[in-house]
Structure 1
Amino acid sequence: MNDFPQSGRPVPAWFTDAKFGIFVHWGAYSVSAWAEPTGELGVVDPDVWFKHNPYAEWYWNTIRIEGSPAQEHHRTTHGGRPYDEFLDEWKAELFDPADWVELFARAGARYVVPTTKHHDGIALWDAPGTGIRNTVHRGPRRDLIADLAAAVRARDLRFGVYYSGGIDWYAGRRDPVLHEDRMDEGRPHEAAYAAYAHRQVIDLIDRHSPDVLWNDMGWPRAGQADLPELFSYYYATVPEGVVNDRWDNAHADYLTSEYEADRANEWGACWENTRGIGFSFGYNQTEGPEHLLDPADAVRLLVDVVSRGGNLLLNVGPKADGTLPQEQRAVLEGMASWMACHSEAVHATRPLESGSADPHDGDPWVRWTRDERHIYAFVADVPDEAGGRVALKTRPGLLDPDTAERLDGDTVKAEAGPEGIHITSAGLDTPLPTAIRFATR
């Protein structure tokens, strides 16, 4: 375990060793499945973001913004009908949780975190206080969280829960959020909503003992005084559980970043970057290949995050029928093929000590990880004219060239040079990284 100053408690080794998790955003918004693919959070101008929100799971908010393209789309395509009609049309008739989880596991994920209630307030279980406005009584007519939890744990993965504590457009009715500077105007802070949210999180803990308690958008001010008791109850129930940082600075076992936002959090002692395969978390039918990661992009993202000491929580957005979009499956299948021989260079590794070896962007692309017995160099995009030869800049004496071997079994030659280690091997010109293992001295 590693001491983490944000909460003052050790972060369980399972979480720091996991490196890769799968986020699942699935809801009534998967029926509309529409957003403008404007760009990544943290890159799009904040003055543009909400009116042209690329997050399909924010559809109910975006269609309430006057003059937004989503509002026009909702009027012309759906006749401006009430958002809750999407709940009844969401059938999940092809949902096969075991199929999902088998793919997640082969892709290298060690934990899975589904949305149990997003900002639209629709619960994916029979949540207390929701009446029939949940997936047990309407739409899919099943406890989607229980079904997924069972499949995840049957595959020996860790199971977490996402809960939108700070925003609920139904139980905590507010005008639409128009700008990040006015985000707090869209958040319910009254005691009644605080009690409602508190009761639902306790119910999730009691039902599922989740390994990750992943809150979003803060917590109502009227309920802040109750959070210490909630966290104590959670840790008593799940001693190896972890809590994220989105509780309005009340508590955190680890910090989070999202796409390009909050990147300063990536230098904490324990952190997690999250993003979708495209620009949206919820399934967005308007996204094309130009908006999506390809398998090499996803692998490089994972390797980069791990090389800097973080975890990657990569999101999938299922369709309303319960199938994973083929484009998203293809990314995970590509990761699975790569992980089949490279996982040891990812799971249970740590970054190299500062100054030991240099990462590099461009041609070539290089990242580093290590475990107790080995150091791993990830290499991609070696220029054709280099003839498969690349110099890995390292501290003198760090690596023994005689121990170099490729994890995929292909041949590699290594020799000491003035700047570190020179390696020669075929196939290093591709964007998909190749891991080369060295025994530590």
Structure 2
Amino acid sequence: MSKKLYHYFLSLFIMLYSGFAQAQHRINPDDIKEKMQWFADAKLGIFIHYGIYSVKGIDESWSFHNKKISYADYMSQLKGFTANQYKPNELANLIKESGARYAVMTTKHHDGVALWNSKYGPLNVVQKTPAKRDLLKPLYDALRQRGVKTGAYFSLIDWSHANYPGFLKDSSRYQVKDQPAKWVKYLTFMNGQLDELAKQYNPDLWWFDGDWEHSAEEWNAAGMRQKLLSYNPNTIINGRLQGYGDYDTPEQNFPVSRPAYKWWELCLTSNDNWGYQPQDKNFKTPYEIISIFTDAVSYGGNLLLDIGPKGDGSIPPEEVNLLKELGTWNKKNGEGVFNTIAGMPQGHYYGASTLSKDSTAVYLFVPAKTRRRY
């Protein structure tokens, strides 16, 4: 066994046995099954982590949170964020070519830097960077023109906002119960930005992050869900809203057994990091991605595969290659992937499989040596 192949199987073993946390669900699946059908059929989405952290190629937000870099040094990246090679039409073409049915764009990470011209404070790429333009609308428009559903990643936490309890610029913190008025101010700000996104871009899917820092009651998660559905009753919400989401979202770790909840999605990096980091060349091979993809589909789930554009907006060639190779495979084998349901339980076939919706056809995915004929 080659060293590279050994590392692949070792990493897969770690993924399988690292556990899979089941989210608490407060939503009756029978109430949402109609709107969830497109998601169940989609199977493949592309995650796009794009932000100022790509300028220096460092951890998105976490690099100053974990004190790898000072807050001031981190925010200095605003000056170098040009997006002058950000080409939404070409990116949408690549996503469409991959076979993906939806794409999720980071509208704002934990650092608080919005990728649209928010009226709730000037910390956005339109007002504070050389990019000077809304990066969301042209991509969402291009995706919709190609029949690809649109998703909006949004961080509930904002480590750059003075009223957020985890504000780290001066390492100050407060308990919500001790300063409720301050917390209300933050929620007003956060919900204002959500209103902007809902009104201006009307995403098909909301991909929240950061809910772990506060309870459902503190976030008013139930009210947030109700508000977003008032804008679009068919919008889908991921499982990171303290139980008020529509589907589970395991991160990096593949479930040991089929998840009990009906809808789920594995979000996975192309290499070891979400955003662009030039030193990270540990890209998964097309074979590895396809193997993980078919495993997820076999369990009745989706794969949300991440890419990280450079600071100028261009896509690393390794990620372009991954999406193109995935697209080539999907063109030939898509019948057994898209619009299918989970395959046979282990004991009948010890590999990935799917079934047609009417259960008249079974599709088996068999690993084989190939020269890119798939």
Please state which band the TM-score falls in when normalised by the shorter chain: 0.7 to 0.9
Query: Which residue matches 1:10?
Result: 32
Larger radius of gyration, structure 1 or 2? 1
- Deviation, structure 1 residue 333: 1.1
Compared CA separation, residues 213 and 5, structure 1 to 2 (3 A) = same
Query: Which residue matches 1:87?
Result: 78
CA deviation map 1:93-139 (0-9, x unaligned): 011111111111111110111010001100000123122x2111122
Does the aligned pair in 2 maintain the 1:28–1:320 contact within 8 Å? yes
Compared CA separation, residues 269 and 5, structure 1 to 2 (3 A) = farther
Q: Which of the two has greater strand per residue?
A: 1
In 1, Cα distance between the equivalents of 2:325 and 2:333? Answer: 12
| Corresponding pairs, count | 334
CA RMSD of aligned residues (A): 2.9
In 2, Cα distance between the equivalents of 1:57 and 1:324? Answer: 20
Compared CA separation, residues 264 and 116, structure 1 to 2 (3 A) = farther
Alignment pair present for 1:429 and 2:366: no
- Deviation, structure 1 residue 57: 4.9
- Deviation, structure 1 residue 263: 6.9
Residue type of the partner of 1:19? Answer: K
Query: Which residue matches 2:125?
Result: 135
- Residue 228 of structure 2: which of 229, 234, 239 is its match? 234
Residue type of the partner of 2:362? Answer: I
Does the aligned pair in 2 maintain the 1:281–1:317 contact within 8 Å? yes
Alignment pair present for 1:116 and 2:56: no
- Deviation, structure 1 residue 327: 1.0
SS of residue matched to 1:160: strand
Does the aligned pair in 2 maintain the 1:352–1:369 contact within 8 Å? yes
After TM superposition, the structure 1 = structure 2 runs for residues 42-53 of structure 1, keeping only pairs within 5 Å, are: none
Structure 2 stretches lacking a partner, 5+ long: 1-23
Query: Which residue matches 2:328?
Result: 337
SS of residue matched to 2:94: helix
CA deviation map 1:23-56 (0-9, x unaligned): 111111000103xxxxxxxxxxxxxxxxxxxx44
TM-score by length of 1: 0.69
Query: Which residue matches 2:197?
Result: 204
Query: Which residue matches 1:217?
Result: 210
CA deviation map 1:132-156 (0-9, x unaligned): x211112211100112111111111
After TM superposition, the structure 1 = structure 2 runs for residues 38-437 of structure 1, keeping only pairs within 5 Å, are: 55-62=59-66, 64=67, 70-71=68-69, 82-131=73-122, 133-139=123-129, 140-171=131-162, 172=164, 173-175=166-168, 190-218=183-211, 220=214, 224=218, 226-249=220-243, 251-260=244-253, 266-288=259-281, 291-354=282-345, 357-359=348-350, 366-371=351-356, 372=358, 373-380=360-367, 428-430=368-370
In 2, Cα distance between the equivalents of 1:355 and 1:83? Answer: 48
SS of residue matched to 1:258: coil
CA deviation map 1:184-229 (0-9, x unaligned): 99xx982221221111112111111111111101075597464333
Alignment pair present for 1:23 and 2:47: yes
In 2, Cα distance between the equivalents of 1:340 and 1:109? Answer: 11
In 1, Cα distance between the equivalents of 2:55 and 2:276? Answer: 9
Residue type of the partner of 2:268? Answer: R
Residue type of the partner of 2:55? Answer: V
Stretch of structure 1 that moved more, 18-27 or 237-246: 237-246
Query: Which residue matches 2:12?
Result: none
- Deviation, structure 1 residue 58: 2.4
Does the aligned pair in 2 maintain the 1:352–1:370 contact within 8 Å? yes
Compared CA separation, residues 58 and 225, structure 1 to 2 (3 A) = closer
Structure 1 stretches lacking a partner, 5+ long: 35-54, 65-69, 75-79, 179-183, 360-365, 381-427, 435-441
Query: Which residue matches 2:4?
Result: none
In 1, Cα distance between the equivalents of 2:273 and 2:57? Answer: 10
Compared CA separation, residues 431 and 252, structure 1 to 2 (3 A) = farther
In 2, Cα distance between the equivalents of 1:95 and 1:17? Answer: 30
Using the aligned pairs only, state the percent identity. 28
In 1, Cα distance between the equivalents of 2:309 and 2:293? Answer: 21
SS of residue matched to 2:51: coil
Does the aligned pair in 2 maintain the 1:19–1:310 contact within 8 Å? yes
Residue type of the partner of 1:58? Answer: W
In 1, Cα distance between the equivalents of 2:258 and 2:206? Answer: 18
TM-score by length of 2: 0.81
